[in-house]
Amino acid sequence: MATQIPLDPMCKKPVYHPKKGDLIYAGPSNTTVFLCKAVSLGTCVLSAALQPYLYMIGDTLPVPLLVAGMGSLGFFMFGTTALMHFVTKRYITYIYFNRKNKTFTAGRFTFFLRNKEMEYTTKDVVVPDVAGIFTTLKIKGKPFMAFDEHFLDYDVFIHMLGYDKPMKWKFKSEIESEKEKE
For 59-100, how does the pLDDT look when each residue is reduced to its tens digit (9 = 90+)? 788 888 888 888 888 888 888 899 999 989 999 999 999 999
pLDDT of residue 3: 65
18: pLDDT confidence band, cut at 50, 70 and 90?
confident
DSSP string, 64-133: HHHHHHHHHHHHHHHHHHHHHHHHHTTB--EEEEETTTTEEEEEEE-TTS-EEEEEE-GGGEE--SS--T
3-state secondary structure of 165: coil
Q: What is the tens place of the pLDDT at every residue in 163-178?
A: 877 776 666 677 777 7
Q: Is residue 44 part of a domain?
A: yes
Shared domain check, 155 and 96? yes
- 82 and 101, same domain (yes or no): no
Task: State whether 156 and 97 are in the same domain.
Answer: yes
Decide if pLDDT at 4 tops 80: no
Q: Are residues 102 and 22 in the same domain?
A: yes
- Calculate what percentage of the chain has a pLDDT beyond 90: 42
Task: Output the pLDDT for position 98.
Answer: 96
Task: Give the whole-angstrom CA distance, residue 141 versus residue 120.
Answer: 11
Q: Is 172 inside any structural domain?
A: no
Q: Are residues 20 and 104 in the same domain?
A: yes
Backbone region of residue 21 per phi and psi (left: phi > 0; alpha: psi in -120 to 50; beta: other values): left
Looking at every residue in the chain, the average pLDDT score rounds to 86
Contact 144, 90 (CB under 8 A): yes
- Judge if 105 and 25 occupy the same domain: yes
Whether 39 and 50 share a structural domain: yes
Domain identity same for 96 and 63:
no
Verify that 24 and 106 share a domain, yes or no.
Answer: yes
Number of H helices, E strands in the chain: 4, 8
Residues 66 and 81 occupy one common structural domain: yes
- How confident is the model over 99-125, as pLDDT tens digits? 999 999 999 999 999 999 999 999 999
pLDDT at 23 over 70: yes
170 and 158 Cβ atoms separated by less than 8 Å: no
The answer as to whether 136 is a domain residue is yes
Is 38 found in the same domain as 23? no
Residue 43 burial by Cβ neighbours in a 10 Å radius (0-12, 13-18, 19+): middle
- The distance between the two most distant Cα atoms of the chain, rounded to a whole number of Å, is 73
Q: What is the pLDDT of residue 103?
A: 96
Long-range Cβ contact pairs of 136-140 (< 8 A, separation 24 or more): 137/161, 139/106
Label residue 2 by pLDDT band (50, 70, 90). low
Q: Are residues 37 and 121 in the same domain?
A: no
Number of domains in the chain: 2
Residue 152: strand, helix, or coil: coil
- Does any domain span residue 10? no
pLDDT on residue 67 = 82
Q: Which domain holds residue 67?
A: 33-88
